[in-house]
Amino acid sequence: MNKLQLSMFLSNQILVLKTGMELTAQAKRFRADFKKMVGLRANASHLDVVRVLKQIYIDNGIENEFIEKFKSLRAEHLLEQL
């Protein structure tokens, strides 16, 4: 997964958590493939997916971009749940 895909997937997950709506029609399939790729169970919550995304950002030394994405989408309150 490249940085653009990672960023867009995180944006989608934030949107789903905030509004319940997906960014694109393909997001559900992408999320299912992502869960399988990282070893999450198929019924893992959206927060579980965001937690894994956070760890990916940390592992790549770009945690500040993770936090900035939440701020830019006005979803800082969701960070408390992580």
For the chain, the structural domain boundaries read 3-79
Band of residue 49 on the pLDDT scale cut at 50, 70, 90: very high
Residue with tokens 């960014």: 23
Q: Quote the CA–CA distance of 6 and 18 in Å, as a whole number.
A: 18
78 residue type, one letter: L
> Per-residue pLDDT tens for 60-80?
999 999 999 999 999 999 988
Band of residue 34 on the pLDDT scale cut at 50, 70, 90: very high
Residue with tokens 């937690």: 51
Q: Against a cut of 0.85, is the pTM above it?
A: yes
Is residue 81 over pLDDT 90? no
| DSSP state string for 14-77 | HHHHHHS--SSTTHHHHHHHHHHHHT--TT--HHHHHHHHHHHHHHTT-HHHHHHHHHHTT-HH
Band of residue 40 on the pLDDT scale cut at 50, 70, 90: very high
